[in-house]
Amino acid sequence: MKHRESTAEPRFEDLGLSSKMLSAIKKAGFEKPSAIQAAFIPVAIEGVDCIGQARTGTGKTAAFVIPILEQIDHEADAPQALVLTPTRELCQQVADQAVRLSVNRDCRVACIVGGKSIKQQVDTLKRGAQVVVGTPGRIIDLMTRGMLNISKLEIVVLDEADRMLDIGFRPDIEKILRRCPEDRQTLLLSATLPPPVEKLAKRYMHDPEMVDVSANDIAPATIKQYCCTVDEDRKLGMLVKLLAEVRPSQVLVFTRTKRTADRLHAVFSKRLPHVAHLHSDLQQTVRDRVMKQFRAGQLRMLIATDVVGRGIDVSSVTHIINYDIPESCDDYVHRIGRTGRLSSDQEGVAFTFVTKQQGEELTRIENRVNTLLEPYYVQNYDAFRAGPARRSVVDDGVKRFG
Ligand code: ADP
Ligand code: MG
């Protein structure tokens, strides 16, 4: 019987890339393409519109950054590629990858995000940025003021499209797309393709090719997923007990609201060093510093809401704790995608706190990831006794974790 060639492991060498690109990829330490990269890159470098769907943490950034770097004119001065992403943190990550993957050729990247000096950003543009990465709000702002020349744009990328629509960027995105040159290439990357994303693609993309590697790949096998049933007012005690028991080396705790994030932060930061929180009400300079410290491993515990937590790539995170069960299944997938990532070999662990009333929400998540979350019982802690844990329990738990 004849063997099919497609069973061979994909290699960057087979994707039609230039030798400059190949050597930059090597320098970046990428040995072989991920599934989405192997499927998406050859289509995208042809210049056609393309939708890429793949789980969080599978390398979607390089999947569109590589085709951009291969297609743009590195001698030209006007922006040729525009990447829209939902958060400032993600903009920075995309910009960093673009710089990293263009080590041996000139490529100027501008990061255009809110909460930072407009003047500095305009200066970068004036120096002739070829790739512009930004959040929709600030991009619109600079476009309207005539400070961002989009007439030479050849590629527009909608990164984390599902999340951008989730957080209300649709009007801004549509405004931007309507003003961009008609004959541009549009690339759309997303972990999920709910109807609003499909509608956007239908309206603003030309006959897009669909590259979907998300099937059976929702939750990475390298993540152990547990659930802990607990009463709402027993959650804090549960969290400190769990931390004391598991003693994670770096943990990301997700809350549903900014207020809960603030509250948890107050409890832990008072008792421990290397704890921070992240949500959209905090100043941009603070958010940047926190992300930098977290990535550098200087923070042991980060408490975050979904908006900022999503898409953040920190390969050293060992544990995810969903202090509140995520509102949507997609958020669950995104949250646990923060650990056990492509760039780390270690197995990740995710705990999800579920109240008795949230059984249905848990079932929806389990259906979505096609896995039953294994019940986890924290030792010596009654998850259902009336009233919150005593202060001494909290103090003692935090001490044993720290
Ligand atoms: P996604 O956008 O799909 O959530 P990212 O683009 O943020 O994923 O990539 C996740 C991590 O994987 C990043 O740290 C990135 O540097 C790394 N990575 C990407 N492609 C490869 C590859 N081919 N080999 C090894 N690591 C990779
Ligand atoms: Mg991404």
What digits encode the pLDDT tens for the residues 272-283?
999 999 998 998
Mean pLDDT value across residues 113-132: 92
Helix, strand, coil fractions of the chain, as percent rounded to 5: 45, 15, 40
Nearest ligand to the C-alpha atom of residue 315: 1
Nearest ligand to the C-alpha atom of residue 52: 1
Mean pLDDT value across residues 197-209: 96
Mean pLDDT value across residues 20-27: 95
Note the pLDDT tens digit of each residue in 294-318. 989 999 999 999 876 665 667 788 8
Helix runs in 135-169, H state only: 136-144, 161-166
Nearest ligand to the C-alpha atom of residue 85: 2
Nearest ligand to the C-alpha atom of residue 86: 2
Provide, rounded to the nearest whole percent, the portion of the chain with pLDDT above 90: 71
Nearest CA to ligand 1 atom 25: 30
Dist CA 18 CA 304 (whole Å): 40
Note the pLDDT tens digit of each residue in 27-45. 999 999 999 999 999 999 9
Residue-level pLDDT at 306: 85
Distance 59 CA to ligand 1 centre (A): 3
- pLDDT at 4 exceeding the cut of 50: no
Dist CA 172 CA 138 (whole Å): 10
Q: What Å distances lie between residue 46 and 11, 28, 249, 287, CA to CA? A: 18, 24, 44, 38
Distance 342 CA to ligand 1 centre (A): 6
Q: What is the b/e burial string over 228-267, where b = at least 16 CB atoms within 10 angstroms of the residue's CB?
A: bbbbeebbbbbbbbbbbebebebbbbbbbebebbbebbeb
pLDDT band, very low/low/confident/very high, at 8 (cuts 50, 70, 90): low
* 340 ligand 1 Cβ < 6 A: no
Atom index in ligand 1 nearest the CA of residue 311 equals: 4
* 257 ligand 1 Cβ < 6 A: no
Atom index in ligand 1 nearest the CA of residue 97 equals: 16
pTM of the predicted protein model: 0.69
* 330 ligand 1 Cβ < 6 A: no
Residue-level pLDDT at 334: 81
- pLDDT at 215 exceeding the cut of 80: no
Q: What Å distances lie between residue 256 and 228, 267, 376, CA to CA? A: 17, 17, 21
pLDDT band, very low/low/confident/very high, at 167 (cuts 50, 70, 90): confident
Spatial contact of 278 and 291, defined as CB atoms under 8 Å apart: yes
* 343 ligand 1 Cβ < 6 A: yes
Strands 155-158 and 223-229: unpaired
Q: Which helix (H) or strand (E) holds 134?
A: strand 131-134
Residue-level pLDDT at 402: 87
Contacts of residue 49, Cβ cutoff 8 Å, sequence gap at least 6? 185, 186, 187, 205, 206, 207, 208, 209
- pLDDT at 328 exceeding the cut of 70: yes
Note the pLDDT tens digit of each residue in 124-134. 999 999 999 99
Residue-level pLDDT at 7: 44
Residue-level pLDDT at 367: 83
pLDDT band, very low/low/confident/very high, at 341 (cuts 50, 70, 90): low
Spatial contact of 376 and 238, defined as CB atoms under 8 Å apart: no
Contacts of residue 132, Cβ cutoff 8 Å, sequence gap at least 6? 79, 81, 82, 83, 109, 110, 112, 125, 139, 148
Atom index in ligand 1 nearest the CA of residue 34 equals: 23
Note the pLDDT tens digit of each residue in 96-111. 999 999 988 888 999 9
- pLDDT at 337 exceeding the cut of 90: no
| Average pLDDT taken over every residue of the chain | 90
Atom index in ligand 1 nearest the CA of residue 342 equals: 12
CB burial of residue 321 (10 Å; 0-12, 13-18, 19+): buried
Mean pLDDT value across residues 238-244: 96
> What is the DSSP code (8-state) at residue 3?
P
- pLDDT at 189 exceeding the cut of 70: yes
Residue-level pLDDT at 221: 61
pLDDT band, very low/low/confident/very high, at 329 (cuts 50, 70, 90): confident
Contacts of residue 262, Cβ cutoff 8 Å, sequence gap at least 6? 277, 279
* 348 ligand 1 Cβ < 6 A: no
Distance 232 CA to ligand 1 centre (A): 36
Residue-level pLDDT at 143: 94
* 339 ligand 1 Cβ < 6 A: no
Residue-level pLDDT at 149: 94
* 48 ligand 1 Cβ < 6 A: no
Nearest ligand to the C-alpha atom of residue 34: 1
* 313 ligand 1 Cβ < 6 A: yes
111-125, 150-164, 310-324: range with lowest mean pLDDT: 310-324
* 305 ligand 1 Cβ < 6 A: no
Atom index in ligand 1 nearest the CA of residue 315 equals: 14
Dist CA 43 CA 224 (whole Å): 34
Dist CA 56 CA 160 (whole Å): 9
Residue-level pLDDT at 340: 62
Residue-level pLDDT at 1: 37
Dist CA 41 CA 60 (whole Å): 10
